Structure 1
Amino acid sequence: MIELYISAFITFFVVIDPPGCAPIYAGLTSGGGRAHVRAMATRAVLVATAILLVFALFGRNILGALGIGLDAFRIAGGILLFVIAMDMVFERRTARREERAEKIKETPEIEDVSIFPMAMPMIAGPGSIASAMLLTAQHPSWAETAVVLAAMLTILALTLLALLAAGPIMRVLGAKIEAVITRLLGVLLSALAAQFVIDGVKASFAG
């Protein structure tokens, strides 16, 4: 169970990337009141948590209703996570996040960024949704699912702390250190994604 928790923790940490969300959120909310910024951060994480819990708990039923096999989803999810990992390694993911943030900052009528883009797609994005569904599907017992959900909720709590402390985190990390961390996490995520694909292919041929 400890190994499962650590594995799920690392997966969600890499995909959700709390340190990477912090500077984006700081840029989006610069000049806002402290209470309003805290409220938006809390709302963003709560909405993202609800989305991820729905897919983690009912994702398998959703796949079944669509006629999609679990092995096919493992392979597709692994490929998706691998693409995200490549974007992290080559810094394309960060660039897109910053570009999206700049577009929203240029639109004065959009003040509340808690739902878009913070809750979706920055926190509860394709990668985190796929990870939640894959991990709970691979570990279907209630005890294992509870461990996966505990790891996910831990990362979401860390994400909330990162958003609330976005300003100080930016000053401590700096752009260069953040870029190094992002690349290292991308390499780790690529290995996890490859394992998802391997497991899916093995299960398909075994079946």
Structure 2
Amino acid sequence: MNFDFKEMITVGMVLFAVIDIIGSIPIIIDLRSKHGQIESEKASLVAGIIMIVFLFVGEEILNLIGIDVNSFAVAGSFVLFFLALEMILGIRIYKDEEAGSASIVPIAFPLIAGAGTMTTLLSLRAQFQTVNIIIGILLNIILVYAVLKSSSKIEKMLGKNGLGVIRKTFGVVLLAIAVKLFASNVKALFI
């Protein structure tokens, strides 16, 4: 096992930007008001399991359908690019269907462990050691749990403007990550 603190922090920050749990607080609060209490433990656990399972079997699924990791990473960079645009510009490109239950759907999937997160995990696997990615996932799940548990307190503390600034800042970080991911994987498609 190759534990690398720098890789763990990088992976953790990338996943933090993609999951955007702080930026999702308004959505979480809206879901709480519509569906009642959100089971933070259940949502966090299911999201973590989905991410770790996809980290291990996602590449095999891609191989089964004939797609290499570099192609998936380039496609993922486009997904991250559009997620970043949503965060920076305050627009919604992708809209989810209305859910009946809030803990698993839509919080665990697709809000936390959605398409952007899945794409990012496989893209990260092309660049980082698996053990460091798993630690990055676990750190994010702990943070997700903490945010879900205290979302109303965070909302009161930051206010609407504070949440907007955080969302836009992480949008710019995510945009830079998307550009880097594209640049580092697109070369392999032409070799």
2:161 counterpart of 1:172: no
Partner amino acid for 2:149? L
Q: Please name the residue that 2:27 is paired with.
A: 24
Partner amino acid for 2:67? I
Measured in 2, the distance between the counterparts of 1:31 and 1:117 equals: 12
Report 1:8-23 matches (<5 A). Answer: 8-23=11-26
Measured in 2, the distance between the counterparts of 1:41 and 1:12 equals: 19
Query: How far off is 1:20 after superposition?
Result: 2.0
Q: Please name the residue that 1:66 is paired with.
A: 65
Match of 1:196 among 177, 181, 188: 181
Q: Deviations over 1:176-205 (max 9, x none)?
A: 111111111111101111111111112223
Measured in 1, the distance between the counterparts of 2:35 and 2:58 equals: 37
Q: Please name the residue that 1:7 is paired with.
A: 10
Name the SS for the 1:20 alignment partner.
Answer: coil
Q: Please name the residue that 1:135 is paired with.
A: 124
**Mapped contact 2:76–2:119 kept (Cα < 8 A):** yes
Larger Rg: 1
Query: How far off is 1:96 after superposition?
Result: 7.0
Query: How far off is 1:3 after superposition?
Result: 1.8
**Mapped contact 1:85–1:190 kept (Cα < 8 A):** yes
Where does structure 2 lack aligned partners over 5 or more consecutive residues? none
Name the SS for the 1:178 alignment partner.
Answer: helix
Query: How far off is 1:50 after superposition?
Result: 1.3
Partner amino acid for 2:23? G
Q: Please name the residue that 2:88 is paired with.
A: 89
Q: Deviations over 1:65-93 (max 9, x none)?
A: 11001221111011111011111100124
The TM-score, its normalising length taken from structure 2, stands at 0.90
Partner amino acid for 1:119? A
Partner amino acid for 2:162? I
Where does structure 1 lack aligned partners over 5 or more consecutive residues? 105-109
More helix as a share of residues: 1
Q: Please name the residue that 1:48 is paired with.
A: 47
Measured in 1, the distance between the counterparts of 2:156 and 2:51 equals: 30
Match of 1:146 among 131, 135, 138: 131
Measured in 2, the distance between the counterparts of 1:125 and 1:31 equals: 21
**Identity across the alignment (%):** 32
Name the SS for the 2:22 alignment partner.
Answer: helix
Q: Please name the residue that 2:170 is paired with.
A: 185
2:133 counterpart of 1:119: no
**Mapped contact 1:44–1:118 kept (Cα < 8 A):** yes
Measured in 1, the distance between the counterparts of 2:34 and 2:186 equals: 50
Query: How far off is 1:61 after superposition?
Result: 0.9
Query: How large is the Cα RMSD of the aligned pairs?
Result: 2.1
Aligned residues: 188
1:62–1:11 CA distance, 2 compared to 1 (3 A)? same
The TM-score, its normalising length taken from structure 1, stands at 0.83
2:78 counterpart of 1:79: yes
